[in-house]
Amino acid sequence: MTTVSNTNTSSNTSSSSSSRTSSSTATSVSSDYQMFLKLLTTQMTNQDPTSPMDSADYAVQLATFSQVEQQVKTNTLLTSLATQMGVMGMSEYANWVGMEARSESPGYFDGTNPVTISPNPVKGADATTVVVSDAAGNEVSRYTIPVSSDSLEWNGTDAEGNALPAGSYTFELESYDDGKLLSTDPIETYNRVVEAQGTSDGAVLVLAGGATVSTGSISALREPD
């Protein structure tokens, strides 16, 4: 199996941030534009006929009006550009579909194939225990593993060795030192990527079992067996 690290997070985050910033700016400027237009119209309608607005002042206000209008158009174009960049960013992840991605999302057990987990013991631990819980948060299995960051296979059985039903399961690692619990941490799992989607916050991946994760939360990719 070949593991490939995710290297596209920064571009995706940048596109998402640009989109939100441009959208917020466009809304603000558009609001100012509408208010300026309303004030200018009201001023012209209610001016004293015997003492009309000075032509120089009028010209300055028209120039300001034109600048605001151009700013609104510019920000609209920037928002459109940011949206297009977001879609382009999503297309970069299209080739991830069908691969197995590693993240802190629940592992999906299909009832037959084992789930690959990647524990990460804390420094100083001399014993580690995997705790498996079902989708409802009920503990279904607990077993000791070597103190190592090597990937392992969970075969979908409970504490008594009975087969568990298909579904999503969460994994945690308890790290001990001389019998004292040092920490309890999430264990990353490998899940097959079934879809890449574009959202207002950037590209996300839909995993087998229905979990949705951001592309930035993927720590590794591999070809399926």
15-19, 23-27, 62-66, 107-111: the lowest-pLDDT one: 15-19
Predicted confidence band of residue 27 (pLDDT cuts 50, 70, 90)? low
Q: How many CB atoms lie within 10 A of CB 116?
A: 19
pTM: 0.62
The tens digit of pLDDT for each residue in 74-88 reads: 777 766 655 555 555
Give 161-209 pLDDT, tens digit per residue: 999 999 999 999 999 999 999 999 999 999 999 999 877 777 889 999 9
Quick one: which H or E segment has residue 41?
A: helix 9-45
Backbone angles phi and psi of 138, in degrees to 5: -85, 130
pLDDT value for 186? 97
Q: Are 221 and 101 in contact (CB under 8 A)?
A: yes
Enumerate the β-bridge partners of residue 8.
none
User: Which pLDDT score, from 0 to 100, does residue 14 have?
Assistant: 42
CA pair distance 217, 77, nearest whole angstrom: 31
b/e for 173-198, b at 16 or more Cβ within 10 A? bbbbeeeeebeebebbbbbbbeebeb
Per-residue pLDDT, 117? 97
For residue 53, the model assigns a pLDDT of 63
Query: What is the per-residue DSSP string for 63-128?
Result: HHHHHHHHHHHHHHHHHHHHHHHHHHHHHTTGGGTTSEEEESSPEEE-SSSPEEEE--PPTT-SEE
Q: Per-residue pLDDT averaged across 118-122, rounded? A: 96
Q: Show Cβ contacts of residue 104 under 8 Å, excluding neighbours closer than 6 positions.
A: 186, 187, 188, 189, 217
The span from the CA of 198 to the CA of 9, in Å, is: 14
